[in-house]
Amino acid sequence: MEVSLNTDGQGFISQMCPSCNRRFKVQPKSPNRISHCPFCEHGDEHWFTPEQVEYLQGYAAREVLGPHLDKLDRQLRNMGSGSRGMFKVTGSVQKPDVPPKPEESDDEMPIATMFTCCGETIRHDESNRPAHCIVCGGPAEVA
């Protein structure tokens, strides 16, 4: 299953370190795998923001569970309509709602920093200066 998330006007998407909870933006079409937090050097494979996680879980639930819930709903209706004995079965199935896809603001992280070691660029705010490359984890050699 492939799911897309919104990007800002420059093609960047928000990410969040699960260790220090600081946010940064990366280009999702990059061939390099983001492996390190640019601020605390935490190594991880999952950088989604809470809003992105909520959207992705809701989307997956609808796409994966939705057809099964539709089938269960049809089965319940068929059981109820065919009941002529002592028992009558009724029920309904409610599919989970998908939260709105998170928006990406162009103004949120105005500073672009390129790591010369691996050629990656991130966007961040003024209060957070990157100290580590997001790909190799080495000291930030910025252009």
Q: Is 74 helix (H, G, I), strand (E, B) or coil?
A: helix
By the 10 Å C-beta count (0-12 exposed, 13-18 middle, 19+ buried), 14 is classed as buried
Q: What does the pLDDT look like over 95-141, one tens digit per residue? A: 778 889 999 988 889 999 999 999 999 999 989 899 999 999 998 87
Predicted pLDDT of residue 24: 96
Longest dimension (CA), the chain: 78
pLDDT above 70 coverage of the chain, percent: 89
Helices vs strands, H then E, count in the chain = 2, 4
Residue 92 has pLDDT above 90, yes or no: no
Taking the C-alpha atoms of residue 32 and residue 118, their distance in angstroms, rounded to an integer, is 8
Predicted pLDDT of residue 89: 61
